[in-house]
Amino acid sequence: LDRTAFYPTSGGQVFDTGWIRPQEAIDNKLRVIEVMERDDGQILHILENSPSLAKDTRVHGLIDAERRRDHMQQHSGQHVLSAAFLRLFNMPTVSFHMGAESCSIDLDTKNLNAAQVESAETLANDVVMEDRPVGIRFVTQEEARGLGLRKIPPVERDQLRLIEVNDFDLTACGGTHVSSTGQIGSILLRKMEKTRQGWRVEFVCGKRAVATARRDYTVLAESGGLLSSHIWDIPQQVRKVQDESRASRKEREHLMEELADAYAARLLAETAEHKGRQFIVHTFPDRDLTFIKLLGQRLTRQSAAVVAFLGVTSGQPALVFAQSPGQPFDMGALMKEILARLGGRGGGSKDMAQGGPTKIEGLQTALNELAARLSG
């Protein structure tokens, strides 16, 4: 188009969407799904389904007002928030990103704590509630250098567009903004995380902040209901559940060890020696790799001359081969031999190996044949 009010992606702010309506076709609105700026400065409007428009067609642009208003709130909120971090802690903003659900600023600082984040959030919201005017003016690069701008863009231009939050912030920016800080609505800081060059702070403003707070509250309320507690007591209840879970896990581990000891003793008692060794072959339809690995350890501890081939045939199939220290076989090599027959991957050391076969058909037969061959 020769002129447009649609904003292209630039300076951390995403593009406008909306419609283009040919003047001669009042009922025909063409959906604008993306707006971008070419290197030569020309603004391109990407239309849904790529309909054709004849050159010199007069059109009327209709911006998605809800989306534009949201972007104005986020971008103006970012200016206020960045100024707050600079005023309070001398932490300049080096970049800004506006996402579909949240926005973020990257701060040039080595250290940032929760108290500082809350202080910046409080100051930013104070400025919002004061409903300060937000003005736009144009100056030359030379004039800008003497105005104390928070940030001057590195690109040399004849004129700079300045956004001024009355008596609080002045910076060069080409984005869309509210006309007074009260239109930003609330500013809610969500989280902070360390980055390679500083700290990133995530935030939301206006209606987006309300929607986010509502979603957070819904999740907290549901969590509180599941824990039978007030939402303010959720952290305490979660810690209690974690403590109980750890205690329960330790108890399960203890019981599993006792069960493995009992199984090992029974298998050793039921297995006759052959040439001074006990070859144990056993598969379980209802256990897992953790158990048969523990069983293999218990067998080799209880006997100085045992060779065990253990398997799991349900769920995720698994194999564990184990021998008492000093026995002559190589469990790792034997595991690879069996898996070459059954499929899957695995390996291990001379005395213990594990693997996961891809098929269980013939597994018991393969283990029996292996034990028979080794026992000679």
Q: What is the pLDDT of residues 283-307, one digit of tens each?
A: 999 899 999 999 999 999 999 999 9
Nearest to 20, CA basis, from 36, 88, 52: 52
How far is 106 from 90, CA to CA, in rounded Å?
Answer: 13
Average pLDDT over residues 224-241: 94
Query: Between the CA of residue 331 and those of 106, 165, 247, what are the distances in Å?
Result: 54, 74, 35
DSSP E strand stretches across 78-121: 93-98, 103-107
- Three-state SS at 6: coil
Q: Tokens 């902070």 — which residue?
A: 192
Average pLDDT over residues 55-60: 90
Over residues 110-149, the pLDDT tens digits come to: 999 999 999 999 999 999 999 999 999 999 888 888 888 8
Average pLDDT over residues 195-219: 95
Residue 48 half-sphere exposure, CB side, CA atoms within 13 Å? Answer: 11
Q: Tell me, what's the pLDDT at 170?
A: 95
Rg, Å, the chain Cα set: 34
Is the pLDDT score of 363 beyond 70? yes
- The encoded tokens of residue 253 equal 């581990």
Could you tell me which residues come within 8 angstroms of residue 322 by beta carbon, excluding any fewer than 6 positions away? 296, 297, 299, 300, 306, 307, 308, 310, 331, 351, 352, 353
Over residues 298-331, the pLDDT tens digits come to: 999 999 999 999 999 988 899 999 999 999 999 9
Least confident of 9-23, 56-70, 100-114: 9-23
Q: Tell me, what's the pLDDT at 88?
A: 97
Is the pLDDT score of 151 beyond 80? no
Give buried/exposed letters for 300-321 (b at 16+ CB in 10 A, else e): beebeebbbbbbbbeeebbbbb
Strand partners, 96: 105
- Name the band, by pLDDT with cuts 50, 70 and 90, for residue 75: very high
Q: Read off the pTM.
A: 0.72
Q: Tell me, what's the pLDDT at 254?
A: 94
- Name the band, by pLDDT with cuts 50, 70 and 90, for residue 32: very high
Percent pLDDT > 90 in the chain is: 82
Q: Tell me, what's the pLDDT at 52?
A: 76
Strand partners, 346: 355
pLDDT averaged over the chain? 93
By CB neighbour count within 10 A (0-12 exposed, 13-18 middle, 19+ buried), where does 47 fall? middle
| Residues 161 and 172 sit within 8 Å (Cβ to Cβ) | yes
- Name the band, by pLDDT with cuts 50, 70 and 90, for residue 155: low
Is the pLDDT score of 25 beyond 80? no
Query: Between the CA of residue 101 and those of 120, 202, 204, what are the distances in Å?
Result: 21, 10, 8
DSSP E strand stretches across the chain: 18-22, 30-37, 43-47, 59-63, 93-98, 103-107, 134-140, 159-165, 169-172, 187-194, 199-205, 278-284, 306-312, 318-323, 344-348, 352-357
| Residues 7 and 176 sit within 8 Å (Cβ to Cβ) | yes
